[in-house]
Chains A and B, each alone.
Chain A
Amino acid sequence: MEEPVHRPFADGDQGEIVNLLRGSMSRGWGTVEEWEWKYLRRPGFDPRRVFVAELRGELVACLHTTSVWVRHPDGTRFRVSLEGDFAVAPRLRGGFITGVLHEAAEHEIQRAGDLLRGGFSTAELHERLYRPRWGYRMASERTVELSKPL
């Protein structure tokens, strides 16, 4: 069986990435314009921090990471890798491509000198994948959504 190959983002991938995100996310995704705002045109964008996988020339998976600064109570600033928009084509889920992209990102994040990597997840996905497979811990803090009908 042919194996997907991974590489960093290259200009021209935008449309395929957005199509993949739209076809993979249960809540859908936005437009190419929104992707370019969120990643490509954002100050400090590094194409080496966006990972894609291809199978026979088709883009079948993507993982987006970026470095952000946080401040410790003692005043120390340090960088963490914040990650999201991790999508695998539905027909290829359950295979090894998820791990391949996660590992590819790990190498690049280490090279960049970030101390932590993380992102936001549901409890279900965290327990099913991130904790058992890679040892992520979920913070005890929670984000709340405040809402009001109009």
Chain B
Amino acid sequence: MRIRPATPADGAALFALRGRSCAGIVFDPDFECWSWDVLHRPGSGTLLAEDAVGRVVAFATFTHDGAVVECGMDADAPARDDALARLMGEVESRLRRAGAASVRVRLDPGDPVALALSALGYASRVVTAPQWRPVGGDASAAARIRDCWDPGWSVRLSDYR
């Protein structure tokens, strides 16, 4: 397992591992917007973990005040837990050197990364939730989205929180 900074050539591999939402609804950006939001964020850095054959297994984009603004993991990779542990160890080390007091990651509770971070000793607390309404009170729009509205759903867009 190797930890290294991401380069623009890694963009597609990271996009494939980007965070998913829960309750059956996924935020579905195009690559150009996602890449801009995550990989071009001022003052941020991205590290990735790749296995022996060069497959990206996990990544994290973080700002130097300690916020991990995007992360992802190949949930099917056998070495995923080791990859995430090593990756976060390096992220923590860099943030410590930058003077951050803590590392903070916002995720949906069911995200595989959230479960893995809990196993690594990260404490969890509820911080926010999305709120929604149909545009213009449009009944047909409300009916169309009711199935995903009522059970509750969220999109993963830490940049806008």
State the A residues within 8 Å of B (CB).
Answer: 31, 33-34, 37-38, 41-44, 68-73, 77-78, 80-84, 106, 109-110, 114-123, 126, 130-131, 134-150
Contacts and interface: CB of A to CB of B under 8 A. Distances in A.
Interface string B120-136: 11111111111111111
- Name the 7 nearest CB pairs between A and B, nearest first: A140-B152, A118-B132, A146-B122, A139-B152, A141-B154, A73-B24, A136-B131
B85 to A, nearest CB: 12
Contact of A141 (B66, B124, B130): B130
Interface in B93-119: 95-96, 100-109, 114, 117-118
Nearest to A149: B102
Contacts of B145: 72, 78, 115-116
Interface residues of B, number: 68
B136 to A, nearest CB: 5
A130 B127 CA distance: 18
A137 B129 CA distance: 10
Contacts of A42: 33, 36-37
Given A116-B135, A139-B131, A141-B154, A38 B159 contact: yes
Nearest to A34: B42
A49 B28 CA distance: 20
25 contacts: A33-B42, A68-B155, A69-B27, A72-B147, A84-B161, A115-B138, A119-B131, A120-B128, A120-B161, A121-B131, A136-B133, A139-B152, A141-B108, A141-B153, A142-B154, A143-B108, A144-B109, A144-B126, A145-B126, A146-B105, A146-B114, A147-B103, A147-B104, A148-B120, A149-B102
